[in-house]
A and B are shown apart, each in its own frame.
Chain A
């Protein structure tokens, strides 16, 4: 199950093909169509030359053939256009599938495990890596099939025209798999090397840009620029060394294609002169000779195109490996629905619950606790004692290893509830957008009221557009305290029965602290079940019941 195993990554990637089979097939079909049209086009050209130059046919009598040729050209162009049109759609389903898979994984991992990965890299997987799959399905995969089919079609025609010329091409045919491997190895190397250089260079550049203010403060920008230049040059020289070898492989393909054309041209020339006394060459005419010559480069063209698309494959494999690594990330065991032994809708029942991370020691040990509806419970105790773990389990973000949790008769996390972590969160948009994230149907008045409850109303009141003004328009964004109060406003707006808060006042400034305290008081007064963890003395006064969580065990204070 190693996600870095290339064979497994390849299998996973080709497994995705199923949903797009239709488009890939259409792309290949259009490609074959273009191949056929090309053969006919070349045959007509050769035939016209033969009729005009050898048979001295007047132009007028060739007009119908010319018109047919024009028609074939139009058909070929149509095929070409359709090929790209179909190709553009090839990965639509794939991308949708993979995004769905990734999101399902995120949900399975849950907020706690997800918070360990950086949001930026998760977003990169979801957007950029998924996008990197496109080239593989749209270009590489169809071209891979075409680079077998089209040369075979051409080979058949050439054999029919002159088997000896066909043999020249066939001689290079067994070499095709070899070419493919060569080109592949080369292209992969080039791609990898280039990618590495660019990303190292970008890394150096971004590192300097990120610290630009610091460099400016110390007056060291010129020095940094010189370093950037010098490092880049080092990368370049290393890269070029590899490229010298890597480019050789595509030069080999190029060389064989050129030599095959040259050999065929000279063979046909000598055949036409009658210098070759064996084989089929005595039957060669300008028509068949010229046609073979015109088809020879088309024989190699699909392979050359394939080598251009090789970097698509490498990019897709690289992206797949990372996506697969994410999909392989072990999630906590699936929700054990229905295992709760209590169905009492008036209490939160925690029964003999234990929790450990991976194979580590138990962070929660055999805890049993009953919380009545409408109670305000405050958990306190030393950090690392298990407060957060307990809250995460009540939220359904973590599943206990043993025991059961029932929230008002339902498994944890099944009913919507209010959650406030140590970081509030806000989106780029208006205050209304932010509050409607969780309560899409809320009225404007309700939103204003909710903002008022958490003391954010004055940030909105003086704005022309009121709750429809953008957050952070003043270039300041929200402070940590304001963001947390915004999250609290969402909780007020949604009117949940249960509200869970993990250290709601940690690191807050005095103003925000007072507002949070007041807000919690209001929630508690309104008969909500409030469960929170804190070190903060003032918050503990809110408690109907104060619990100390220490070393994985819970005791009444």
Chain B
């Protein structure tokens, strides 16, 4: 359960809202229970008085208080329920934000992610699922559990006050067992299966994606049906295990509700004895079992959350790992104006190094080109210079740099926001100037919104070449003394590249530039070119 602590702490920061939300929930439940209990009390009272009337005996009955109470609870149940839903939904949406913002902040602080360990898209889809799992933590797990405990204790207290301690304690025994049945016992039983289900699901997802990626080859080889059968079998096994958890949750709930019902029957039975002794009145005796039956509704909320708790914990565990400060910590920016690398070993911790004994000096204002085939380690080298990954050994002095990574990252935001990342102080005129440079100005003057044009998900309103030129413009906006460009012209057609290369060269005049590419034509004009093997 330790893995949940950071998330529970996060949720508890909204303590005020949680308490009010829980009180509204409590009010809803109590109104519902009170409506029935008071009605039961009222019926019994009227039945007894009615018998007296029928026997011609004078009797007094106060109709106003119980009648008013019944009407009050009927209305309060509705009103409390409405506001409870609205209020708690608001809370859930706030928590949704809290969790995502906190997670993002922690990931940002944790340093750069080790790359290449997971396929990006799959890691993201897993991350989404895990965050979603935590969204329901409060409303489905924390609130109902706390509520069930509080209401149970209140009910037991009521039994003690109105009947006696012995009955109350026995009822508590029934209810406590029911509580454990619906929560802890179910969690223990489903924990392992529920925890692994998610992993298996994601595993199956990557299998399906592989199946699709290899569709041509598998079809050609006549193996597509066989491979699909394998996937279908896995899905079916997953479905079956899911059914197992649902079934277990169902049995635990029915056992818990059986115990609640038995407690009601027990209180009635034990109450009869007291009633015959005159220790308790008929209406009160009738009221108590009805109150106990009302607990069924509270407990019904528990099994679903506890059946999934194993999965929730697994999700929390993975997220905790994601925000663990990585071994890769950004080093404090150096002030050197010359790039001096001596005897570097480059690579990822725990893996075979990509490059060893690498030494290099780049003078201020120098233009260096680095050419290497894919897999030759040039991106790892660029990552090291930009301090995305630290060198495993050796020393590196490096001025602050602007780094165009090999992958093109366009944010789902306006053109302006995307560009300003490079230099938050740039004016609109600066932005237009750099857009002009990469030949995007005309394209965006045609848009009605100009700089405020919304770039859709992943920048999908841009072609590959346009997106590349956009992120290039972003890097060019930066004033950093060193500029590292990894494959600056991916997806940019040859004519455009030839036109903009000299312009960029002039724009970067006086600054140190390292450009990397698979061939000399992919680079900026360079003083000298380094070939990696």
Contacts and interface: CB of A to CB of B under 8 A. Distances in A.
Given A206-B124, A228-B104, A290 B212 contact: no
Interface stretch (B110-118, B162-170, B391-399, B522-530): B110-118
Interface in A411-463: 413, 415-421, 423, 425-428, 437-440
Interface string B80-113: 0110011001100110110011011101100011
Contact of A99 (B48, B235, B258, B350): B235
Contact of B42 (A211, A244, A250, A269): A269
Interface stretch (A107-115, A310-318, A358-366, A520-528): A107-115
B265 interface: yes
B6 interface: no
B127 interface: yes
A367 interface: no
Interface in A300-339: none
A53 B74 contact: no
Interface string A248-276: 10110011001101101110111011100
B282 interface: yes
Per DSSP, chain B at the interface is helix
A87 interface: yes
B44 interface: yes
A434 B136 CA distance: 40
Contacts of A127: 201, 204-205, 208, 235
B121 A88 contact: no
Nearest to A208: B104
Nearest to A414: B222
Interface in B188-220: 201, 204-210, 212-220
Interface in B385-424: 386, 388, 402-403, 405, 409, 411-413, 417, 421-422, 424
Contacts of A167: none
A89 to B, nearest CB: 6
A290 B210 contact: no
Contact of A475 (B235, B348, B518): B348
B273 interface: yes
B40 A437 contact: no
Contact of B117 (A206, A395, A475): A475
Interface stretch (B18-26, B242-250, B431-439, B502-510): B242-250
B411 A207 contact: yes
B94 A269 contact: no
Interface stretch (B141-149, B223-231, B355-363, B492-500): B223-231
Contacts of A510: 373
B335 interface: no
Contacts of A220: 421, 424
A81 B186 CA distance: 14
A428 B123 CA distance: 14
A269 B242 CA distance: 49
A59 B273 contact: yes
B246 A416 contact: no
A274 to B, nearest CB: 6
Interface in B115-136: 116-117, 120-121, 124-125, 127-128, 131-132, 135
A254 B453 CA distance: 47
Given A419-B216, A419-B220, A70 B104 contact: no
Contact of A437 (B46, B97, B218): B218
B160 interface: no
A198 to B, nearest CB: 7
Contacts of B61: 273
Contacts of B374: 479-481, 509
Interface stretch (B9-17, B49-57, B309-317, B442-450): B49-57
Given A217-B386, A220-B424, A510-B373, A266 B36 contact: no
Contact of A509 (B124, B232, B375): B375
B75 A272 contact: no
| Residue from B45, B217, B285 whose CB has the most chain A CB atoms within 10 Å | B217
A126 B35 CA distance: 48
Contacts of A509: 373-376, 518
A205 B388 contact: no
Nearest to B283: A53
A87 B246 contact: yes
A449 B319 CA distance: 43
B517 to A, nearest CB: 13
B216 A395 contact: yes
A11 interface: no
Interface in A279-302: 285-286, 289-290, 293-294, 297
A218 B112 CA distance: 13
B48 A53 contact: yes
A397 B219 contact: yes
Interface string A83-116: 1110111011001100110010011001100110
Contacts of A413: 219-220
B235 to A, nearest CB: 6
A435 to B, nearest CB: 11
Contacts of A425: 210, 213-214, 217
B78 A207 contact: no
Nearest to B208: A123
B421 A265 contact: no
Contacts of B467: none
Interface residues of B, number: 146
Interface in B470-524: 474, 478, 518
Question: Most chain-A CB neighbours within 10 Å: which of B40, B120, B207, B411?
Answer: B411
B152 interface: no
Contact of B104 (A88, A224, A265, A477): A224
Contact of A208 (B215, B249, B411): B411
A18 interface: no
A118 to B, nearest CB: 9
Contacts of A92: 236, 239-240, 243
B82 A248 contact: yes
A421 B351 contact: no
Contacts of A250: 81, 85
A215 interface: yes
Contacts of A258: 32, 35, 73-75, 77-78
28 contacts: A53-B286, A59-B272, A80-B250, A85-B247, A100-B232, A103-B228, A107-B225, A111-B219, A120-B125, A127-B235, A197-B93, A206-B124, A207-B411, A220-B421, A225-B104, A228-B104, A250-B85, A254-B82, A258-B74, A261-B36, A273-B61, A274-B54, A417-B220, A425-B210, A437-B221, A476-B375, A480-B374, A487-B217
The 6 closest A-B pairs by CB, nearest first: A84-B250, A509-B373, A419-B220, A265-B39, A232-B97, A221-B108
Given A95-B239, A122-B212, A217-B405, 12 more contacts: A54-B51, A127-B208, A203-B457, A217-B386, A217-B388, A239-B93, A261-B39, A273-B46, A418-B221, A428-B210, A437-B227, A510-B373
Interface of B: 32, 35-36, 38-40, 42-51, 53-54, 61, 63, 66-67, 70-71, 73-75, 77-78, 81-82, 85-86, 89-90, 93-94, 96-97, 100-101, 103-105, 107-108, 112-114, 116-117, 120-121, 124-125, 127-128, 131-132, 135, 201, 204-210, 212-228, 232, 235-236, 239-240, 242-244, 246-247, 249-251, 253-255, 257-258, 261-262, 264-265, 268-269, 272-273, 275-276, 282, 285-286, 289-290, 330, 348, 350-352, 354, 373-376, 386, 388, 402-403, 405, 409, 411-413, 417, 421-422, 424, 457-458, 474, 478, 518
Interface of A: 41, 45, 48-49, 52-54, 56, 58-59, 62, 66, 69-70, 73-74, 76-78, 80-81, 83-85, 87-89, 91-92, 95-96, 99-100, 103, 106-107, 110-111, 114-115, 119-120, 122-123, 126-127, 130, 134, 138, 194, 197-198, 201-218, 220-225, 227-229, 232-233, 235-236, 239-240, 243-244, 247-248, 250-251, 254-255, 258-259, 261-262, 264-266, 268-270, 272-274, 285-286, 289-290, 293-294, 297, 395-397, 413, 415-421, 423, 425-428, 437-440, 474-477, 479-482, 487, 490, 494, 496, 500, 509-511
